[in-house]
Structure 1
Amino acid sequence: MTGRRWIVVALLAIVAVSVLSAYLTAPRTGGLMEADSTSPDGAHALVTLLREHGVEVVVADDVDAVASAARPDTLILIAQTFFLLDDDGLNRLAGLPGDRLLVAPSARTRERLAPAVQLDGSIQFGGRPDCELREAITSGDVQFGISDSFRREDDLPAIRCYGGALLRYTDADRTITVVGSSDFMTNSGLSGPGSAALAMNLAGTHDRVIWYAPQRIEGESSGEASLLDLAPPQVGWVVLQLCVVVALLAWWRGRRLGPLVAEPLPVVVRASETVQGRGRLYRSHRARDRAADALRAATLTRLLPRLGLARNAAPSAVTQAVARRTGSDCGAVLFGPAPGTDAELLALAHHLDDLERQVAQS
């Protein structure tokens, strides 16, 4: 009996260790740039690197937490700015002491926290720093993906790197850094050339960093209730009855019509070939207006259900709905004139993709 007891104890210990290891190493899902998220879009890897290099990272969940932790010798990193819609909250952030690092800021956030900074188009990949900023020079070439490009109004003093994807200037004894993309700072993006070095150089300039990446609108409830939890109990029985009716109807129709007969199609054309052929036709006839209309129509088809609008919604209603979700004016992107060059058509496609991403994340 003693031998069997030790075997049971050993098996229980192995099971306990396995369960504990699985719990500790399980991926922690989360949103974009969330400090504790180990998903591809999270920032757990960068936060861990900062802490291993002696940087104190304070994770703030709301503006009150940021305000209580802010000090003059602290860097405030602000990401996921599409959720910063409260004017009072933005005004509080603008008045806090310390330097700022704005990661892919929305138009509203950029106007409040980085005054006199304007959007100057977008870049597709990145490349060499082409500036005298030490953090960028030591990082070397960096691939940003699709990134916004910035400049200061009226040619005010500023350092622009990577074609404007990185902008730094000083305002009232405060250093403000604006970067147009968060891809190189995420868990999946750190492995890119120069990405980890630039992310560490930008976020590790101070011994203390306040990490603020809100995952919901300030004050919004974070309850876990689903749609099924809110439905009355009778809904389950109704759904079950409908399933039975559909199954009986399918069985009855199947017996009446007989078995299915497979018939080969005369021609099979891949979707990619159709898209490429239509693109070549547009390009050969320089039909940038039709290509732009097709891109905008496809974007509206995907955006309208997310915005809760009908397919025949007026352009003004669509523009207002998108502005409420993203905080930026999108009238020229969705309903503007046709592009005059291929470069403008490519920029329009990038703006439409970025606008769709903003609405999906809002």
Structure 2
Amino acid sequence: MSATNGARRRTGHWIALGLIVITALAAVTAFLTAPRPGGRMDPESTSADGAHAIVSLLRDRGVEVVVARTVADVERAARPDTLLLAAETYNTRGDDLFQRLAAVPGDRLLLEPTARARAALAPGVRTGGAELLSLEPKCALREANRAGSVQLGSTDTYEKVGDVDLTRCYGGVLVRYQAGGRTITVVGSADFITNGSLLKAGNAALAMNLAGDRSRLIWYAPQEAEGQGTAGSTIGDLIPDAVTWLVFQLGVVVVLLALWQGRRLGPLVAEKLPVVVRASETVEGRARLYRSRRARGQAADALRTATLQRLSPRLGLGANASPAAVVSAIAARYSGGQNTVHHLLFGPPPSTDADLLHLANALDDIERQVTTS
């Protein structure tokens, strides 16, 4: 019975050991095959913008790839027989760092260089104007012809400065020239060398031909900012010169258009009211206002003035006729006598609402008799 228990224990130990080994292998496999995030052109990143694939291919081909995170790393690894691949140069800040890179021996391969990087590391070229980009090399560069058609994505084009003997491929996206005993290659795009675009057309061949041209490659694509910007570094350094003239011309056009379309202030123009209010509503509203303020005098004056304005033309009286003339002309056609007419038209204001109502009725009676007489 004890022998059976011992066999069972040994079997359990082997099973436990097997599970441990399987778990360890699964963990190692998951770690090795898991995606490795990183920035653009990061040689250790397996994301679409990373460059782990091309670095692995170069190392499999026998190229010694030295990853340099800082300018000091580049200086320590540089030799006359090395090739310096410089990308993501917007993270390199300060003219002193670019001058140190320019002093490093060996050939250069610049991918999407900034204006400061191009001025320091490839002074023989400058950005060109808009051109029809070509998928075919159409040049005498061996590396480009062996790669054939490529897809470079959005990119800049370059042209020579001075009398530089410049080789231009793919419509000026890829250029190369010799200076100071070294070969300088500039490509206006780095997309073709990333993991996500390496398998498109002849991108992989072009990347291998350019980056694998020497047995030792220094990969300088800083993922973090290094150095301090100079005092003269402004956003204007990133704007092409042609944009300044374009903005100036647009400003002139806007000013001329404003002068052409401008209008002088003319005379006032009477416009109709947006809302038409009936006369009865106006009278009722004013009457309620008088009543709320107990303004019997103002209401009586309004009634008397309106009656005189309607009767004066019928009686042949002018606007400035005296009260006596008005009373005499009205009394000749009214049955109430001159004293009554004078009291109604020029008398004191009513003291009560009833007196005001009586005055309104009396004025209507005067106007009716004068009109019909």
Is the TM-score greater than 0.5?
A: yes
> Do residues 21 (structure 1) and 29 (structure 2) align?
yes
Aligned twin of 1:98: 106
Which residue type is aligned with residue 36 of structure 1? E
CA deviations 1:315-356 (Å, max 9, x no partner) are xxxxx8644xxx512586597256xxxxxxxxxxxxxxxxxx
CA deviations 1:7-58 (Å, max 9, x no partner) are 2222222112111111121111111111111111111111111111111111
Aligned twin of 1:329: 239
Report the Cα distance in structure 2 between the residues aligned to 1:181 and 1:206, rounded to whole angstroms. 21
**Cα–Cα, structure 1 residues 88 and 219, in superposed 2: closer, same or farther, change >3 Å?**
closer
> Do residues 118 (structure 1) and 98 (structure 2) align?
no
Which residue type is aligned with residue 92 of structure 1? R
Contact kept? 1:125, 1:145, Cα under 8 Å: no
CA deviations 1:183-216 (Å, max 9, x no partner) are 1000111111010000000011111111100011
Identity of aligned residues (%): 50
> Do residues 62 (structure 1) and 67 (structure 2) align?
no
Report the Cα distance in structure 2 between the residues aligned to 1:185 and 1:175, rounded to whole angstroms. 20
- 1:147 aligned counterpart, secondary structure: coil
Tell me which structure has the larger Cα radius of gyration: 2
Q: What pairs up with 1:1-362 in 2 under 5 angstroms? A: 1-2=8-9, 3-122=11-130, 126-219=134-227, 322-323=235-236, 327-329=237-239, 333=243, 336=247, 337=249
Contact kept? 1:108, 1:328, Cα under 8 Å: no
Report the Cα distance in structure 2 between the residues aligned to 1:69 and 1:34, rounded to whole angstroms. 18
CA deviations 1:43-101 (Å, max 9, x no partner) are 11111111111111111110011001111111010000111222111001111110000
Report the Cα distance in structure 1 between the residues aligned to 2:195 and 2:65, rounded to whole angstroms. 17
Which residue type is aligned with residue 89 of structure 1? L
- 1:102 aligned counterpart, secondary structure: strand
Offset at 1:5?
2.9
Which residue type is aligned with residue 102 of structure 1? L
Contact kept? 2:94, 2:227, Cα under 8 Å: no
How many equivalent pairs are there?
A: 236
Offset at 1:217?
1.2
Q: Which runs of 4+ in 1 moved over 3 A?
A: 121-126, 320-323, 330-335
Contact kept? 1:124, 1:147, Cα under 8 Å: no
Report the Cα distance in structure 2 between the residues aligned to 1:160 and 1:18, rounded to whole angstroms. 50
Q: What is the root-mean-square deviation in Å for CA atoms of aligned residues?
A: 2.0
Offset at 1:125?
5.9
Contact kept? 1:30, 1:39, Cα under 8 Å: yes
- 2:116 aligned counterpart, secondary structure: helix
Contact kept? 1:117, 1:152, Cα under 8 Å: yes
Report the Cα distance in structure 2 between the residues aligned to 1:123 and 1:40, rounded to whole angstroms. 28
The gaps in structure 2 that reach 5 residues or longer are 1-7, 251-373
Contact kept? 2:37, 2:45, Cα under 8 Å: yes
Report the Cα distance in structure 1 between the residues aligned to 2:121 and 2:227, rounded to whole angstroms. 20
